[in-house]
Amino acid sequence: MNTHHSLQRLADARPPQLDPRPDPGRRRRDLERAFATDRPSRLRRPANRRPMLIAAVGLAAAAAVGIPLLGQGAFAPSSSGPTIVVSAPQVLLAAAMSAEALPATDGAFWRSSELSSSVFRTPGPGGYLVEERHRFDTWTAKSPTDPGAWISTNLGAAPLSPADEEAWRNAGAPDRFTEALCVPREPCTERVVPAASEPPLAFPVEAGDGISPAQLQQLPTDQEALREHLLKSYTGDNPAAAGDPMDPDTWLFTTGSGLIMKQPVRPEVRAAAFRMLAALPGMTVDPHAHDVLGRAGTAVSMRQAVEGGGVLEHRVLIDVGAGIALGEETVVVEPIPGHTGLPPAGQRWHSTVVESVGWTDERPPAVPDGR
């Protein structure tokens, strides 16, 4: 593929402005619950809760587009033509083209494996940062008569960096960590996190737990129709934390990112979701991003001003050539006044990465008693 011509196609592409403000009073739909992901709340840490439906996009083999990707306002040299500027919307439009080219796949179960990590600061003057990790393995059945399964594995916790490890050793190298979170107008909470990993916990996923794969297959393939469909679930709150305000653009960014990364939708729906995100204002792009597994990708980000002060940045890491999302994360940009236990500004707070995913005929392990 001619790199300059590919870049010029992107530079010429301009998404329509889709800025109608939704009515905050629109009734809640089941979609809100299905599309919700475990993102941080400004009042609460991300909960390692049992999801109603965990799924992610298929990591099917796709031809690499081979386009050099750029930060917003940055330039990339091209040996076959003039320098081209590529913005965050244009990166998303390129991912949409790649997603549309993916073949549709099938199987009896939507099988996914995800790694979730959270970072918190231990209390006290000698406090240090700790990273806690969990793995979630899910089999979501296509047929309502087949039993699915969800397996949660606590992978343990450890100091985040060498400096944090030194502070941990100075504190006596405890085998468990305390997370204390105090927020305005809320009672302080405390949680003890073991350093060691724990045995997996298994739960059945029954028919009717969230929206079915068959229902997700019927989502609109037009970006404007998909936007309107999703906004029927918008209530003004963070989809992962009721009562935690979130503006419509950030809500669409986080919900659309979850749809791309987690849901068993058709390639055309995933492409529509990428195009829907491309129409949102205020995004930036980092062409040299990496996830917690060290995988390289292009990060598209949107910042959220938190009610009462503070700023968070929501990021989705994209493999543009494959038309998929590798993961998502939330970074603290400006501290939230009155909150303790959060990592400092510039630090990743929470992330979810997809390790493997796709349709399969492999049956889940039996979960006879639900645990």
Local confidence band at 69 (pLDDT 50, 70, 90 cut-offs):
very low
* pLDDT surpasses 80 at 63: no
Burial of residue 203 (CB within 10 Å: 0-12, 13-18, 19+) is middle
Contact 139, 357 (CB under 8 A): no
Which of 62, 55, 56 shows the shortest CA–CA distance to 98? 62
Give the HSE-up count for residue 317: Cα atoms under 13 Å, Cβ half-sphere.
20
* Range of 4-13, 68-77, 204-213, 335-344 with top mean pLDDT: 335-344
Which of 134, 123, 137 shows the shortest CA–CA distance to 157? 134
- pLDDT > 90: percent of the chain: 52
pLDDT tens digits along 232-285: 989 887 776 666 788 999 999 999 999 999 888 999 999 999 999 999 999 999
* Long-range contacts of the stretch 168-177 (C-beta < 8 A, 24+): 168/128, 170/126, 171/122, 171/126, 171/128, 177/122, 177/130
Q: What is the DSSP letter of 26?
A: S
pLDDT tens digits along 19-57: 333 333 332 333 333 333 343 443 444 444 333 332 222
SS3 11: helix
Give the containing element (helix H, strand E) for 254. helix 248-262
The domain locations on the chain are 3-16+42-360
Query: In this structure, how many other beta carbons lie within 10 angstroms of the beta carbon of residue 49?
Result: 10
